[in-house]
């Protein structure tokens, strides 16, 4: 899905990375407005929400501890796959009948070895 999104809208993908990963949405008015709000939002209210976003964006990560738990370190030496792979439930892709996301999602799942399933009349 990420690769599909990058192909479809590279500029928006970059904005999302800047906004969420680099946390620039909490610093740059134009990016905060574009990712979360409408152009009609008054500047004073935008600043207020941006301040709250900055407070909510304070997240730390202990990289050394994280690196000890990487799934690749626990991979099966013979296959290179995670030992947990056989325990993972099958993927479910839901999309609107005839909708692009459902069709592309099924194809993406089939490339990964999953059989695409079409559910009709869900909504």
pLDDT by residue (tens digit) across 102-122? 566 666 666 655 555 555 655
Q: Residues of the chain with pLDDT > 70: what percent?
A: 70
Q: Residues 122, 99: contact at Cβ < 8 Å? A: no
Q: Is the pTM of this model over 0.75?
A: no
Tokens of 10: 């590279």
Using the predicted structure, report yes or no on whether residue 1 has a pLDDT greater than 80.
no
Q: Residues 78, 72: contact at Cβ < 8 Å? A: no
What is the average pLDDT across 31-40? 91
List Cβ neighbours of 47 (8 Å cut-off, separation of 6 or more).
29
Tokens of 112: 């990964």
pLDDT of residue 42: 93
pLDDT by residue (tens digit) across 45-102? 999 999 998 988 887 777 788 788 777 777 788 887 777 777 776 666 555 555 555 5
What are the sequence ranges of the domains in the chain?
Answer: 2-58+89-111
B/e letters for 84-105, b = 16+ CB within 10 Å, e = fewer, are: eeeeeeeeebebeeeeeebbeb
């Amino acid at each position: 899905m990420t690769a599909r999104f990058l192909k479809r809208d590279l500029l928006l993908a970059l904005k999302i990375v800047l906004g969420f990963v680099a946390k620039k949405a909490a610093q740059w008015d134009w990016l905060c407005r574009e990712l979360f709000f409408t152009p009609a939002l008054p500047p004073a209210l935008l600043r207020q929400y941006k301040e709250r976003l900055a407070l909510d964006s304070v997240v730390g990560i202990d990289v050394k501890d994280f690196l000890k738990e990487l799934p690749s370190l626990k991979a099966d030496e013979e296959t290179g796959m995670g030992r947990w792979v056989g325990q993972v439930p099958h993927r479910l892709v839901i999309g609107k009948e005839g909708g692009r996301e459902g069709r592309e999602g099924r194809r993406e799942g089939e490339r990964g070895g999953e059989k695409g399933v079409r559910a009709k009349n869900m909504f």
